[in-house]
Amino acid sequence: MEKIQVTIDGPAGAGKSSVSKILAQRLGYVYIDTGAMYRTLTYSAIKEKVDFSDIDSIIKLLTSIEINFGLDQETGTQKVFCNDQDVTDLIRSPEVNQKVSIIAAILEVRNIMVLRQREIAQNNNVVMDGRDIGTVVLPNAKYKFYLTASLEERAKRRAKELEAKGYKIDLEKLIVEIKTRDNMDTQREYSPLKPASDAIIIDSSKINLEQVIGSIINYIKEDDINVL
């Protein structure tokens, strides 16, 4: 049977992963965080001291690593593994934040990532979040959404999240960091971040997570919900 695909794209901190995780649970689908795939490659390249301008070495590294997702049985949270190493927290480091958009701009990297992402979506009903999911990875997806919110609101939410983890945050610096990454993602040559022409755009600046999820679920046909 044809698998059902829900795509969630948008800029950094728009709420994609929080929304997608809960949505996937409620629909009974698999959640795929494609940003974590680019982050894992970036983390590995930093660790292996690969020169970011040496595309051949980056590709060699990418083809040598297996990126997998798994559930933490105790907490129910999603984990990311790189060749069996748990990299869930490591891929959210400030250094990875700074460098991931450089790796993500490389066409050869994107081509391999897109193949891997399509393969997962061929075998499972998925909620997949990222930057190019509705436009490039799954252009024929049944349901497409583009989440956005003001830069200030996104930065404040990110800051709150990081502060809860014990980091001390300079909000102005965080705003610049997010803006810089958004600019790199929207202005790159290959698969830039933009809403698909048939995506439903949701601005969450003034609505909470539950309201965003509720409005998305309103678009999903009852027959497509697997959870009783």
Burial grade of 59 (CB within 10 A; 0-12, 13-18, 19 or more) = middle
d(CA 30, CA 220) in angstroms, rounded, equals 16
Out of 7, 44, 144, 185, name the contact with ligand CDP by CB under 6 A.
Answer: 185
Give binding residues as ranges: 10-18
Closer to ligand CDP by CB, 206 or 221: give it.
206
Report if residue 207 touches ligand CDP, rule: CB under 6 A.
yes
Residue number with CB closer to ligand CDP (19 or 228): 19
Which residues make up each annotated binding site for ATP? 10-18
Q: Does 146 bind ligand CDP (CB under 6 A)?
A: no
CB of 10 to ligand CDP, least distance (A): 6
Q: Tell me the two tokens of residue 105.
A: 């701009």
E strand residue ranges, the chain: 5-9, 30-33, 67-71, 78-82, 85-86, 126-130, 143-148, 200-203
Least distance (Å) between residue 2 CB and ligand CDP: 22
Query: Which has the closest alpha carbon to 102: 46, 154, 145, 153?
Result: 46
Contact call for residue 144 and ligand CDP (CB under 6 A): no
**Binding residues with ligand CDP: total (CB under 6 A):** 30
Q: Which is nearer to ligand CDP, 39 or 144 (CB)?
A: 39
- Concatenate the DSSP letters of all residues of 161-181 into one string: HHHHTT----HHHHHHHHHHH
Closest separation between CB of residue 129 and ligand CDP, Å? 6
Characterize the bridge pairing of strands 67-71 and 200-203: unpaired
Candidates 14-22, 65-73, 82-90, 165-173 — which segment interacts with ligand CDP by CB under 6 A?
Answer: 14-22
Is residue 174 within 8 A of residue 158, CB to CB? The reply is yes
Residues 88, 85: Cα–Cα separation, whole Å: 9
Interface contacts to ligand CDP, rule CB under 6 A: 10, 12-18, 34-36, 38-39, 100-101, 104, 130-133, 157-158, 161, 181, 185, 204, 207-209, 212
